[in-house]
Chain A
Amino acid sequence: MNLLLFLFAELGVWAAGLGVAALLLPARPVSRVEWMGLALVLGSGGISLALFALSWAVQGGALVAVVAVASGALGMFGIARWRKVRPVALPGGAWFAAVLAALLLVVGWQAGNHPLAADGLFNFEIRAQLAALHGGRVPPAFFSDPARVWMHPNYPLFLPLNQAWIYLCLGGPNQGWAQLLSVHFAAGAACLLFSGVARLTGDAWRGGLAVGMLFLMPAAMNSPGGAISLWADFPLAVIFLGAVIYLVEFEAAGSGLGVFAVLLGLLPWVKREGLVLAGVLVMALLWITWRRGKIRQFPAAIAPLAIVVLGWKIFLGLVHVSADRDFLPVSLSVAFGHADRLPFVVTALARELFAWQRWCLLWPLTLVAVIRIARDPALARWRLIAPVVGSLLALYSGIYIFSAWPSLALHVVTSLPRLLLPVAMPALLAVAAAVPRWGTDKVTK
């Protein structure tokens, strides 16, 4: 019975995402894999935002019914558009689907064998549990409880409300089934990566290579913060991956801005760090729109981001959120006063980039790929990845200047590897795009 209810919950997410994707799809042939990836990612965003907004008006079974009907309506719209547009088949798409099914089976199996822990349990799943026990709404008392400041009450609710949706459909909290959301996000990442790389390079094998690297990279799968652990880091990385893919497409072909804008808006809804990722992408978009003479599109593209950021800030004010103790107030005096931390942080970052147990050889390969992309005019569309990755590495190093933890080393060791996970997504894109074709002198299309 629980399996059927879980599938009903997943169907609701997928249907909502199908409809939202249908509204945003660029005016070009769209593959089934791309549509599927967008449905999974946008559906998660849609369901979490719908629960957050509607749970103040209706709760419990009524909330589930309202959200299910809305998802169903979006799904019908998506299917109608699907029939009209007729998605194209990607070369190698059938192989991709078969291999992905096997990989997801392993991810799901291992997710069931590695229970939620640490941040996944105490920062995210507890909100889902509380929401499910209070009819779908995280009780306002949670956000202002001084005894639970360590649960980071100002963290946004994307992942917890996706888990809460499963709990509401199941009729109560169930951590075993919630763990299967790992499969959902892993599938979303794989579909976006395969379709994005195949579309933008013209080579399906590069898409397969990127997906293979994703599933083999421990930081993305089985390290803390990876897909299986079900912390918010992996969903954040998936949405950032999608945003970067559509930004590259916008720069190369002028399409995909609508999808980019919505994914950009979702970033700070997944995790606070999403604001840093979004900030870097906003700067990149500003540069691209200015260079292409399309600066008028810029305000509309960042509108969803502004709405989410302001909306969440207003909400936190209304519930009198308890102050976070992780970081000192950002000011020049604090920055200069703690500048002596930088050598330690930079050393830790360098050590982390070479930690093969988490990243395999991703970062050295990224460096080579970035050089290749800079030198080869055929790879020009990927050139924005280097500044995006570089500025994020610099920003994430600099953020520890403001750490309020008694032990800076502990703060760095426990968070830096996870901060790098979203940054690894454009790095994967760069490697997949730059790797030379085997057995021929032709480098890339």
Chain B
Amino acid sequence: MKLCVACWWLALTAFAVCGLLVWTRYFAPMSPAFQDPDAALDALARTRFGLEHGAATVRRELDGFAPEAPLLVFGRGDDWTLTEAHFLISYLAWPHPVWCVGMGELPPGQKAPYDFPPPPGLHPAALFFYKVNLPPGMPVRQLSPELAMHDNRP
């Protein structure tokens, strides 16, 4: 019985050690960012686009567009970070419908895993280019090293 009890408490100690090991790797000692209203959006824009104050920047760029105007994001269809780039722009662009086209070479018949293509016949008011080469001669605003925008309005 005593052996059984000892095994239980040994296992519980191992439980605690495992938990503490993960906590020590996770723990971030800096000051919390409670005062930033766009804390999460800015952090993601910094990570994905290399863009400081990304939430305000993207919102500002879209200020003059009609709310119902659709937008299109281009990126590499086999790059999972395209999903986050698309989601982030879609979040910031509400209520604009935002679609995403994955580019790059894929085997015939295979769909890009990380895009969200628009229905046929869409005429986007603006194009965003995320980590892809820009079409030659297209006038764009380079918002950050990873993100460029083209105003496609007539």
Contacts and interface: CB of A to CB of B under 8 A. Distances in A.
B39 interface: yes
Nearest to B118: A147
Interface in B1-36: 1, 4-5, 8-9, 11-12, 14-16, 18-20, 22-23, 26-28, 30-36
Given A176-B36, A361-B11, A435-B8, 9 more contacts: A112-B34, A115-B40, A147-B116, A175-B38, A176-B33, A213-B12, A218-B22, A360-B19, A361-B14
A110 B15 CA distance: 21
A15 B148 CA distance: 49
Contacts of A437: 5
Contacts of B139: none
Say whether chain A's binding surface is mostly helix, strand, loop, or mixed: helix
Contacts of B22: 218, 222, 357
A338 interface: no
Interface string B71-106: 000000000000010010011001101110000000
Contacts of B98: 147-148
B111 interface: yes
Contact of B15 (A130, A147, A221, A365): A365
B153 to A, nearest CB: 18
Contacts of A111: 32
A172 B18 CA distance: 40
B40 A112 contact: no
A179 B41 CA distance: 13
B44 interface: yes
Given A117-B44, A150-B116, A176 B15 contact: no
A2 interface: yes
Given A109-B32, A217-B19, A174 B91 contact: no
Shortest 10 CB-CB distances between A and B: which pairs?
A112-B32, A216-B19, A147-B97, A116-B40, A115-B40, A360-B18, A176-B34, A113-B28, A218-B22, A360-B15
A130 B94 contact: yes
Contacts, number: 133
A362 interface: yes
A122 interface: yes
Contacts of B99: 147
Q: Which residue, of A118, A126, A216, has the highest number of chain B Cβ atoms within 10 A?
A: A216
B37 interface: yes
B12 A176 contact: no
Contacts of B91: 121-122, 126
Nearest to A150: B116
B70 interface: yes
B9 A438 contact: yes
B5 A436 contact: yes
A151 B37 CA distance: 21
